[in-house]
Structure formats: C-alpha cells, structure tokens
Amino acid sequence: MILARVCSDGPMTDPFAALDELLPSLRELYTDLHRHPELSFKEERTAAELARRLEEAGYEVHTGLGGTGVAGVLRNGGGPVVMLRADIDALPVQEKTELPYASETPGVMHACGHDMHATWLSGAADLLSHARDAWQGTLLVVFQPGEEQGSGAAAMVRDGLFDLVGRPSVVLGQHIAPGPAGWVLTRPGVIMAATDALRIVLHGRGGHGSRPETTVDPAVLAASVVLRLQTIVSREISATESAVVTVGQLHVGTANNIIADEAVLEVNVRTFDEQVRDKVLAAIERIVRGEAAASGCPEPPEITSIASFPVTTNDDTANERLTGVFRRRFGPEHVLEAPLVTGSEDFSEFGRAAGAPSVFWLVGGMDPQEVLTAISEGRFERDVPSNHSPLFAPVVDPTVRVGVETLVTGALEFFAVQG
C-alpha cells in the first residue's frame, strides 16, 4: 500500500499518523498469510508478497537470502543501522480454530503467530518509509525463513545479509504471546531458553519374539534409556538451576512377534545457561553409551544433533531504553516484565553474528478480558491456547496495531532523530 508523504519542507511527519489508513491493508495481509501458511524454507508465496510490499514502499529489496528470506534496505542519510526482524514460516499442525480465514493448506498452520510477526514488520516498514523526515540512518528490514528449524537466521547471515548495509548497530525483534492484547513484555538478560534436539539410534540384534536369548532387544534398551534420561534433571542439575529433558519420539519394531534391529529416539533439551546445557548434553551421551554397552549392543549408538537454538539474551542497556520508551507510549500498566520463556528462538544469531546489541520482547495477542478472567480463576493454562496449539488464534484488533507501534517505537529510539 502506497502512503502519501508530507513534503520535506513542511512540518515533521508523525511516524504514526498514517497507521489508521494502513490498518485495513494490514488486516488483509494478516488474514491472507494465515489462510496460506508455508513450512520452513518453503515460504515462496509469503516471501513474494512481503517483497512486493517492500518494493511498493520504496525499499531496495533482496530476495532468496537463506533460501526464501527477504531483506529490505532503506537508506536515509548518515546514522545508525537499525535492523528489524520477523520470521515467516508455519508449522505442520492441523488447524482447529474454525476461523473464517483458517488455513486452507491441510496439515499446515500458522500456530506460532509468524503471520502476525510478518504483518507487524510490513506495517512498520511502511510507516518508517512514510516518515523519513522524522529519523536518520539506515533501516534493514528482515523477513526470516526457517525459524521453526532453528537455522533460518544463520542461513541468511551466511548468504551475505550483512554485506547489504554493513553490520547493524542494533537488532530488534518481537514475538506474539498468549497474553492480553495491548500488553508488551520486556526482560533484561536471558528471556528465552536454548534448545537442543537429538536423534539417537540404538543398535540391537533382531530376531523372533519366541527366542529373545538370541537377540539384543532395542525396545528394552530404549525403555532403560528413557527412564535413565529423566534422572539428569532430578539428580545431576542443581535445584537452583533449570533444565528440561523430553523424549518426544520413540520408534521401535514392526510387529508383535519380531524383536527389532534398532530403536530410534528423538530427545529435546531446554536450558537457560551454557554450562548447564553442556552438562545435560554430556550426561545424555554418557547414559546412552553406557546403557548400550550394558546391553551388549553389537554397535555403539549414534547421537546426532538435528536442531539447535541458542539462548536468547537481551542487551541490558538496550532493553532498558526500549522498556522506558514503551512505557511512555503504552503506559506503565501495559508494559510488564516478561517471565523466562522455555520456548526458543534463533533470533539472537543475528546479534551474535553482527557483534551488535539485540533485544527481543513479547506482545500480547489474546482477548484481554478472557485472559485476565482465566488467570484470576486459575484456568489460564487450560483455557488460553498457547503458541503451537491447533487452537492458537490471536485477536486481530488491537494486536496488529500494537505490534506495528512497538517496532516503529523501538526503531525510532535507536535512530538519529531529525530536527
């Protein structure tokens, strides 16, 4: 959507003046993206639409970064390089919301809110382009693929993202949360957990179910491994520290009278501290290899990393600046400290690769009265669908507006202000 701009010799443009005019287009974008979700690194339609909107808003547009990533560059004189990021991939989830704009792709859904993230960033890009007389510097707008696989951010960096404008001065991003729409949640330091996903193959020796003495049964071995892994957190991690170890998949056997050759497990680990992370991963390897040896396996087990997300850590100074400016815009009653989130993100890969401060915050997206009532009655976890649920359905208003405002407010805080 092309917005009219105030003449450069007139009064400075209010960066939010055009938001009401823009909102109908953003609502249409959100419902369209929700209706047409695309899995990680397959976001061709999504990327094309977002690139088109950036071009229309006057950005220098780069596509195909990290596979299907899109970057827009808006140069507006000397000053800081501010990077704003949104992820764009969906999940392999069958939607159950019954929304009028529910997913039309069987088995695929925007169950984590990346459609809202993309809408927010597209709107912020439009407003900041419209109000170029209110700020100075270079804006780098990044629509990232493959966040759900934990590799999209690194892929975009490898493809030369920072060669476009140099390394950013600051990297900003946000995520929709199952909190009241209109609320903004910030947190200094660590805000989201690291995740490690492992695939473990246990090699047994198969045979007939009537002659177990001739086999090494991987089903029994897998059962021992699953139980023993649960002792890592309870017996090896201090009560003052935190970790989660989950065996999410276990596959073994093809029939009731066949002892299989192997068992395959997929394990998910969540930690908030690098030393704890290393300790948990080392314990998993020790236990798996030890149980395999105790069972007399003919081959050692295979342990392979299939996904890895770093801890998301906010720069304290930059977070304090953003929290202050959010409180001034939205009111202190709507800007709260975020809890530690056990979910994970690859957002911090950008700040780490750039050597720049980064800040990630949360924006509520649910009906405020429903959320507050559920909290007061102790039913929040049961009644308010969270990210990745097939029932996850943010309210469009005021969620779209608030998420655009937070990105624009955050960017302006770090740009050199014209005047």
148 known ligand binder: yes
32 catalytic residue (yes or no): no
* Pairing of the two strands 262-271 and 243-252: antiparallel
Residue showing tokens 């990105």: 407
Between the alpha carbon of residue 12 and those of residues 68, 81, 130, the distances in Å are 36, 21, 11
Closest CA to 320 of 418, 413, 408, 407: 413
Given 89, 133, 262, 346, which residue is catalytic?
89
Given 38, 87, 147, 405, which residue is catalytic?
147
Cα 139-340-89 angle, rounded to 5 deg: 50
Contact 42, 54 (CB under 8 A): no
Closest CA to 147 of 349, 414, 351, 294: 349
| CB atoms inside a 10 Å sphere around CB 290 | 13
The upper half-sphere exposure of residue 2, i.e. CA atoms within 13 Å in the direction of its Cβ, equals 4
126 catalytic residue (yes or no): no
117 known ligand binder: no
Helices (H), 230-367: 231-236, 274-294, 316-330, 348-354
**Helical (H) or strand (E) element with 46:** helix 44-56
334 known ligand binder: no
203 known ligand binder: no
Residues 6+ apart with CB under 8 A from 104: 35, 36
| CB atoms inside a 10 Å sphere around CB 343 | 16
Indicate the DSSP class of residue 133: G
> Token pair of 18, please?
């055009």
Contact 310, 196 (CB under 8 A): no
Residue 203 three-state SS: strand
Beta bridge partners of 120: none
| d(C-alpha 128, C-alpha 114), whole Å | 21
Listing DSSP states for 80-145 in one string gives -EEEEEEE---BS-------TT--SSTT-B--SSHHHHHHHHHHHHHHHHHTGGGEEEEEEEEEE-
Q: Which residues are catalytic?
A: 89, 147
Known binding-site positions: 112, 114, 148, 175
Which amino acids are annotated as binding site for Mn(2+), given as ranges? Answer: 112, 114, 148, 175
